[in-house]
């Protein structure tokens, strides 16, 4: 049976090679078989980034209380919808305005998406069609808002959060993305952020920080000035979420090669995985030392921290560097969670520690571990994105606070946002202790 499968595979492979060989003689930028293979990989990567939204949904649900589960799942269902729709309306053309805006801070090439000439051939790009390009990038856009969702969980009004997400994803995310990926001012300075440690994760992280600062901590988080644990209600859900995110990251980073080129794609997947593994180990060691007993939720954050950390340099750093970057990310995330807690910055799921702290670390690490890129330019990119995103998000949240209000009533927070915002429960028929 095995032998039979192998033979079949060998035949298929040789057929594929033959077609490749035949087409390679033509003068097109890339032959049809390669273009098709590239485009298929890019679509697979798109599906993987898509499934990250399920990962965020389960992770955030698991790390928050049962009485807020409908609310967090609701937000995580709306976010991909908001991301894709706004990206179709303006985001894509804000982020990739075209060569006319090369080196600029801002560009916009009109509303809506429509197929340019040759958009579905390799003349558009050797790696993908116009449509694949749009969908892959749209999936990325939504992740930025998802990061905010976890940090402001269990106390933000639903409509206020949704309004914030629409504006942030539609405008802030693509503008920053344009600076680097859209050929803007950072791109021409040889800034390097391969798949978005800064462009995606820090953008989300800065937005989250602004939200958390304006909202304040959850009721019961600080008693007599001391931080108290508010336990998440399902570690199994959190674990499922992290593994889904890890799976999704193969598309997030692997797809950021922007073609199916075997060498770079497989290399990026290796550095990505090694960093995730090192993040787990780094977080375990730190948690064991600092907290006396190893904390599963910290190790889960450590895995994501390693992934966020390697995202900027997955293609540019060496194998051993990828392990070091991941391990340091794992250490940083645990210290950051404890530090934010002490600083009265209440982040139920550790989104700031994972996405903001390690988004910054990963971007700077490219400057440290790769000879091709300058640390100072990396720092400049981190600071520019940080200032823009934080100010944008802070002003936006502040405006929403004055118009709609940001935080639910104390009574609603105690009873749970599931009843307050949605009038339904996540676990009908179960009795759940809601004493916090």
- Closest contact distance (angstroms) between CB of 411 and another protein is 9
- Closest contact distance (angstroms) between CB of 295 and another protein is 22
Which stretch in 196-204, 341-349, 379-387, 426-434 sits in contact with another protein by CB under 8 A? 426-434
- Closest contact distance (angstroms) between CB of 159 and another protein is 18
Q: Which string of x and - marks every residue 239-258 that binds another protein (by CB under 8 A)? A: --------------------
Which stretch in 261-269, 272-280, 394-402, 422-430 sits in contact with another protein by CB under 8 A? 422-430
Near another protein in 206-235, by CB under 8 A: 220, 223
Binding footprint of another protein, residue count (CB under 8 A)? 15
- Closest contact distance (angstroms) between CB of 316 and another protein is 50
Give the side-chain half-sphere CA count within 13 A for 38: 25
- Work out whether 116 is an interface residue with another protein (CB under 8 A): no
Which stretch in 239-247, 274-282, 377-385, 423-431 sits in contact with another protein by CB under 8 A? 423-431
- CB-neighbour burial class of residue 119 (10 A; exposed 0-12, middle 13-18, buried 19+): middle
- Work out whether 387 is an interface residue with another protein (CB under 8 A): no
- Work out whether 414 is an interface residue with another protein (CB under 8 A): yes
- Work out whether 158 is an interface residue with another protein (CB under 8 A): no
Only one residue has tokens 């994105």, namely 385
Which stretch in 44-52, 208-216, 340-348, 427-435 sits in contact with another protein by CB under 8 A? 427-435
- Work out whether 429 is an interface residue with another protein (CB under 8 A): no
Q: For residue 155, give the nearest of 388, 348, 393 by alpha carbon.
A: 348
- Of residues 112 and 423, the one with the C-beta less far from another protein: 423
- Closest contact distance (angstroms) between CB of 70 and another protein is 11
Among 424, 426, 427, 429, binds another protein (CB under 8 A): 424
Spatial separation of the C-alpha atoms in residues 90 and 110, rounded to whole Å: 7
Which stretch in 47-55, 200-208, 289-297, 417-425 sits in contact with another protein by CB under 8 A? 417-425
Spatial separation of the C-alpha atoms in residues 239 and 410, rounded to whole Å: 31
* Main-chain dihedrals φ then ψ at residue 294, nearest 5 degrees: -70, 130
- Of residues 261 and 425, the one with the C-beta less far from another protein: 425
Which stretch in 44-52, 166-174, 276-284, 424-432 sits in contact with another protein by CB under 8 A? 424-432
Only one residue has tokens 């060691």, namely 285
- Work out whether 412 is an interface residue with another protein (CB under 8 A): no
Among 44, 269, 335, 419, binds another protein (CB under 8 A): 419
- Closest contact distance (angstroms) between CB of 224 and another protein is 10
- Closest contact distance (angstroms) between CB of 415 and another protein is 8
- Of residues 114 and 431, the one with the C-beta less far from another protein: 431
Among 117, 292, 371, 431, binds another protein (CB under 8 A): 431
- Of residues 104 and 415, the one with the C-beta less far from another protein: 415
Among 20, 121, 189, 436, binds another protein (CB under 8 A): 436
- Closest contact distance (angstroms) between CB of 436 and another protein is 7
- Of residues 220 and 405, the one with the C-beta less far from another protein: 220
User: What's the per-residue H, E or C state across the chain?
Assistant: CHHHHHHHHHHHHHHHHHHHHHHHCCCCCCCHHHHHHHHHHHHHHHHHHHHHHHHHHHHHHHCCCHHHHHHHHHHHHHHHHHHHHHHHHHHHHHHCCCHHHCCCCCCCCCCCCCCCCCCCCCCCCCCCCHHHHHHHHHHHHHHHHHHHHHHCCCCECHHHHHHHHHHHHHHHHHHHHHHHCCCCCCHHHCCCCCCCHHHHHHHHHHHHHHHHHHHCCCCCCEECCEECCCCCCCHHHHHHHHHHHHHHHHHHHHHHHCCCCHHHHHHHHHHHHHHHHHHHHHHHHHHHHHHCCCCHHHHHHHHHHHHHHHHCCCCCCCHHHHHHHHHHHHHHHHHHHHHHHHCCCCCCCCHHHHHHHHHHHHHHHHHHHCCCCCHHHHHHHHHHHHHHHHHHHHHHHHHHHHHCCCECCHHHHHHCHHHHHHCCCCCCCCCCCCCC
Question: Which residues make up the interface to another protein (CB under 8 A)?
Answer: 220, 223, 414-415, 419, 423-425, 428, 431-436
């Amino acid at each position: 049976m095995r032998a039979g499968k192998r033979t079949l595979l060998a035949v298929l492979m040789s057929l594929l090679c033959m077609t490749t060989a035949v087409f390679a003689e033509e003068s097109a930028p890339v032959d049809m078989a390669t273009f098709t293979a590239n485009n298929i990989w890019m679509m697979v990567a798109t599906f993987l980034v898509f499934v990250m939204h399920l990962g965020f949904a389960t992770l955030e649900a698991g790390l928050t209380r049962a009485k807020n589960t409908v609310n967090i799942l609701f937000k995580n269902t709306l976010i991909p919808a908001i991301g894709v729709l706004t990206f179709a309306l303006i985001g894509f053309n804000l982020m990739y305005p075209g060569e006319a805006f090369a080196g600029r801070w801002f560009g916009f090439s009109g509303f809506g998406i429509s197929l340019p000439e040759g958009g579905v051939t390799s003349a558009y790009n050797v790696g993908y069609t116009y449509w694949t390009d749009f969908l892959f990038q749209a999936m990325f856009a939504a992740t930025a808002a998802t990061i905010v969702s976890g940090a402001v969980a269990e106390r933000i009004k639903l409509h206020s959060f949704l309004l914030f997400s629409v504006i942030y994803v539609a405008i802030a995310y693509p503008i920053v993305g344009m600076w680097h990926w859209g050929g803007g001012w950072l791109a021409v300075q040889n800034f390097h952020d391969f798949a978005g440690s800064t462009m995606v994760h820090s953008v989300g992280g800065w937005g989250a920080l602004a939200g958390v600062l304006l909202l304040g901590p959850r009721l019961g988080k600080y008693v007599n000035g001391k931080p108290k644990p508010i336990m998440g209600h399902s570690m199994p859900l959190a674990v499922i979420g992290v593994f889904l995110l890890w799976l999704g990251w193969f598309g997030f980073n692997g797809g950021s090669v922007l073609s199916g080129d075997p060498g770079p794609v497989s290399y990026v997947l290796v550095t990505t995985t090694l960093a995730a593994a090192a993040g787990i180990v780094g977080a375990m060691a730190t948690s064991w030392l600092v907290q006396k007993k190893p904390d599963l939720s910290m190790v889960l954050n450590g895995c994501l921290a390693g992934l966020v950390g390697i995202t900027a340099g997955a293609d540019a750093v060496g194998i051993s560097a990828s392990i070091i970057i991941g391990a340091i990310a794992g250490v940083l995330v645990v210290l950051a969670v404890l530090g934010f807690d002490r600083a009265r910055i209440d982040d139920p799921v550790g989104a700031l520690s994972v996405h903001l702290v390690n988004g910054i670390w990963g971007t700077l690490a490219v400057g440290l571990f790769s000879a091709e890129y300058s640390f100072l330019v990396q720092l400049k990119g981190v600071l520019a994105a940080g200032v823009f995103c934080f100010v944008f998000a802070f002003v936006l949240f502040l405006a929403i606070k004055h118009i709609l209000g940001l935080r639910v009533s104390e009574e609603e927070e105690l009873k749970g946002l599931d009843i307050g915002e949605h009038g339904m429960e996540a676990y009908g028929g179960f009795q759940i202790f809601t004493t916090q």
